[in-house]
Amino acid sequence: MKILVTVKEVTVVDDEFEIDGLSIDDRYVTYDLNEWDEYAVEEAVTIAEDVEDVEVVTVTVGPERADETIRQALAKGADRAVRVWDDRLAEASMLDPATKARLLGAVAEEEDPDLVLTGVQSGDDSLGATGVSLAERLEMGWAAVVNQLDLSADEGVAHVHRELEGGVDEISDVELPAVLTIQTGINDPRYASLRGIRQAQSKDLAVKSLDDLGLGPDALDSPIEQTALYEPETEGEATLFEGGAGETAGELAGLLREKGVGQ
Q: Which long-range contacts (CB under 8 A, 24 or more apart) does 237-244 make?
A: none
Binding mask 89-118 for other proteins (x = CB under 8 A): -----x-xxx--x-----------------
- Any contact of residue 26 with other proteins (CB under 8 A)? no
> CA 120 to CA 146: how far, in whole Å?
8
Asked if residue 161 lies in contact with residue 148, where contact means CB atoms within 8 angstroms, the answer is: yes
- Any contact of residue 259 with other proteins (CB under 8 A)? yes
Q: Which is nearer to other proteins, 50 or 237 (CB)?
A: 237
- Any contact of residue 132 with other proteins (CB under 8 A)? yes
How many Å from the N-terminal Cα to the C-terminal Cα in the chain?
62
Which of 1, 89, 92, 127 binds other proteins (CB under 8 A)? It is: 127
Q: Which is nearer to other proteins, 59 or 186 (CB)?
A: 186
- Any contact of residue 240 with other proteins (CB under 8 A)? yes
20 CB-near residues (< 8 Å, 6+ apart): 26
Q: Which is nearer to other proteins, 16 or 50 (CB)?
A: 16
Which of 137, 192, 208, 210 binds other proteins (CB under 8 A)? It is: 137
Q: Which is nearer to other proteins, 55 or 169 (CB)?
A: 169
- Any contact of residue 215 with other proteins (CB under 8 A)? no
Asked if residue 115 lies in contact with residue 131, where contact means CB atoms within 8 angstroms, the answer is: no
Residue 256: what residue type? Answer: L
- Any contact of residue 19 with other proteins (CB under 8 A)? yes
Inter-CA distances, 118 with 62, 124, 238, 249, 254, Å: 16, 15, 38, 43, 48
Q: How far is the CB of 3 from other proteins (least distance, A)?
A: 18
Q: How far is the CB of 221 from other proteins (least distance, A)?
A: 10
Site for other proteins in 142-201 (CB under 8 A): 142-145, 161-175, 178, 181, 184-185, 188
Q: Which is nearer to other proteins, 111 or 136 (CB)?
A: 136
Q: Is 2 helix (H, G, I), strand (E, B) or coil?
A: strand
- Any contact of residue 230 with other proteins (CB under 8 A)? yes
- Of 92, 64, 85, 97, nearest to 215 by C-alpha is 85
Asked if residue 142 lies in contact with residue 63, where contact means CB atoms within 8 angstroms, the answer is: no
CB half-sphere exposure, 238, CA atoms < 13 A: 7
- Any contact of residue 256 with other proteins (CB under 8 A)? yes
Q: How far is the CB of 68 from other proteins (least distance, A)?
A: 20
- Of 124, 174, 166, nearest to 144 by C-alpha is 174
Applying CB under 8 A, what is the total number of residues that bind other proteins? 88
